[in-house]
Structure formats: C-alpha cells, structure tokens
Amino acid sequence: MVKRLVITVLISSISIFANESIYEKNCVACHKNFAIGLDKLFMSYLKKYSDEMSVKSALIDFLKNPNRATTAMSDDYIRRLGIKSKTDLNDSALKEAIDIYWQKYNVFDRIK
C-alpha cells in the first residue's frame, strides 16, 4: 500500500513538472522569491524599450550577458538584489521563455 502511494505521488509530481513551461521552470521558479514580481520587471523593460521586438531583444541581451549596461532595472533595484548570473538556457529555450513572458504580461492586447 505504501509503495503504491509513493509511486502515485512520484508519477503525479513528474507529470506536474512535465507540464510546466520553460518559463515557469526557469524564470518563475527563481523570481517568485523576490519582493518585486516579474510583472514589475516587465513594465521596467516595456517603459525603457516600448515595443515587443525591442523588449525581447533587450531581455535576451541581458540574460546572455547580465550587467548594469544591459539591464532596465534601477540602481536601487540592483543595489538590493544584485545582477543575476548568466542564463544557461540555449538560444531557442531562451526565446521560448521570453515569448511566454511577453504573452503573459503584454498590455497592448488588453488595451482596446
């Protein structure tokens, strides 16, 4: 009985993890612990870069080479949380994660 329960829990855990997107596994998992949510980060990039292609390009540049010059975040934010480490996602996975991020927080489709 216990063995069956353990197997059921493991299978359930694996199926839940398998259904997570690359964005949820690699971005949300870390950022959920920050005081400033991904929605606020998105708005900072949108305010600085203003359109989809520019925001996505800036995010890719930052995530591949994180530094003060490539971030849209304020100096206060950087002082409190620092600069993240370089992503270990390959180009296609990074693009997929950023596409999901854009779809989740894109305000343009909500303004009518």
> Among 4-8, 25-29, 89-93, which stretch is predicted with the lowest mean pLDDT?
4-8
**Model's pTM, two decimal places?**
0.75
Tell me the pLDDT tens digit for each residue of 18-77: 568 999 999 998 888 887 889 999 999 999 998 999 999 999 999 999 999 889 988 988
pLDDT for residue 16 is more than 70: no
Start-to-end C-alpha separation, the chain: 56
Per-residue model confidence (pLDDT) at position 110:
66
The CA distance from 111 to 102, in Å, is 15
Per-residue model confidence (pLDDT) at position 98:
96
- Residue-range domain boundaries for the chain: 21-110
Sequence-ordered list of residues with C-beta below 8 angstroms from that of 73, at least 6 positions apart, any chain:
41, 44
What average pLDDT score do residues 90-99 get? 96
Of 105, 100, 111, 87, nearest to 43 by C-alpha is 105
